[in-house]
Amino acid sequence: MKLTLEEEAMLKGKYGPGKQKAMELTVSLGEAFGAEELVPVDSVHILAGGRSYDEAGIEWLEDLVNGGGVAHPDVYVTRNPGSADHELWREMGLEDDLVDLQKRLDEVVIRFGAVPVASCVPYLLGNLPRWRTRFCWAGSSGQVYANSVLGAWGNREGGIACIAAAITGKTPAYGLLIPENRYARVVVRPVDLDPDTLKEEDLAALGYYVGQQLIDKIPVFTGLPARMKIEQIRALAYSLPVGGGIPMFHIAGLTPEAPTVEHALGFKKPESILEVGPQEIARTKELFRRADDSHIDLVIFGCPHCTIQEIAAIASRLEGKRINPSTRLWVCTSKQIKVIAQRLGYVETITRVGGLVLADLCAGPACPMGVVTPKVKVIATNSIKTAFYAPGTSGVGIYYGTLDECLESAVAGEWRG
């Protein structure tokens, strides 16, 4: 790979062992993917979940920082959520060990130079890579959103690659950083579906199904509404990489690289056309209704983190009701959005009826939902990502449904889908 004099110097250790290690990692990644050069990144988002790091992982990061491996001043670095709410972890029922591990990780992440948004929606919190600027984000949902909706350029990278990019300010030019790799290869066409009536949970099931069918081929969706809310577009963005490994998508007439289907395809013929109807969506939802018991121990929202509109919807539906005493309700969001929700009275409403609005906490694989006391065994969620990961990472049974179905279940204490 061609390196600049500056990059060579960093690789040879001129700027200390932390930066040297980061450059070694960045160059190895580039060589593995056949990149010819490194390019600057403006935006990085790193992982920081206590359940995703063990002691050795935290020590590795501490050593890196102690050796001068800190975020480059020209790069805006944020961090993903962790495994504990820093204020409400006792109410959550978490064990001290996990919280101590998370606090230690949080400290080193701040020393590293990451802005502690502790959220997977950095694009709603100031880390907003602009059109055609390069970014390096860990975590799949934000990365797909940034490529597809913001038109910024970035690959789905692992946690260590993003840490290295934050330090060096560089990422290898391969994959979605090459314009011709960003074109769609398959047209997705809804059949017998009224796009205007599709709820977020239907769109997430659609995205999961398309991900399963296309694995990693970029789709262009046709026949979707010309106006979609952030939550609706995000439902596709977060579910496509759960069903498969799709790194970006286009919606004809809506996303920036798809003014038309032809533009999205780069004016080439599609490799295939995938038709999706109500049966595929219904069958996909059924995949995520697997529990031995209809009693619900936990209803969890916020994977990806809830927007203020979602919290408003939850609060308004719970007004005048009461969460079943045998069921917990966790609404996960960022601290910043929680502060706004507090000012608007939503946190008070949700807390009064027996729920918790939690900040800094991942509602997916890094969530400690299976380790709380008493042990949570069955959950309900409106996130297909939580529904996909939670049985494996937390050993729980799951029910996937709409926001309303989940809230009715929280009140009843049993699944009402």
Interface positions with ligand F3S (CB under 6 A): 80-81, 120, 139, 141, 238, 303-305, 362-366, 385
Least distance (Å) between residue 124 CB and ligand F3S: 12
Residue among 235 and 366 whose Cβ is closer to ligand F3S: 366
Distance of closest approach, residue 378 Cβ to ligand F3S, in angstroms: 19
CA distance 215 to 51: 27
Between 361 and 378, CB nearer to ligand F3S: 361
Closest CB to ligand F3S among 389 and 415? 389
Closest CA to 367 of 298, 319, 414: 298
Strands 328-333 and 356-359: parallel
Q: What radius of gyration do the chain's Cα atoms show?
A: 21
Across the strands, what pairs with 137?
A: 45, 156
Amino acid at 267: F
By beta carbon distance, the residue nearest ligand F3S is: 364
Q: Which two tokens stand for residue 270?
A: 């599609």
Distance CA 139, CA 41 (A): 17
Least distance CB 337 / ligand F3S (angstroms): 13
Residue 222 or residue 386: which is nearer to ligand F3S going by CB?
Answer: 386
- CA dist 380 and 402 (Å) reads 10
Q: Considering beta carbons, is residue 366 or 407 the nearer one to ligand F3S? A: 366
Token pair of 26 as six digits: 């960045």
Shortest Å, Cβ 136 to ligand F3S: 16
Q: Residue 218 in contact with residue 196, Cβ under 8 Å?
A: no
From residue 253, alpha-carbon distances to 10, 142, 208, 258, 324 in Å are 44, 21, 22, 6, 44
In terms of CB distance, is 238 or 288 closer to ligand F3S? Answer: 238
Q: Which whole-number Å values give the CA distances from 344 to 119, 123, 183, 347, in the listed order?
A: 20, 22, 42, 8
Task: Find, among 179, 151, 165, the residue nearest to 30 by Cα.
Answer: 165
Q: Sign of the C-alpha dihedral, residues 194, 200, 203, 209? A: negative
Question: Nearest distance from residue 86's CB to ligand F3S, in Å?
Answer: 16
- Distance in Å, CB of 17 to ligand F3S, minimum: 30
Give the nearer residue to ligand F3S in terms of CB position, either 141 or 382.
141
- CA-based nearest residue to 247, from 385, 123, 133, 140: 140
Nearer of residues 188 and 362 to ligand F3S, judged by Cβ: 362
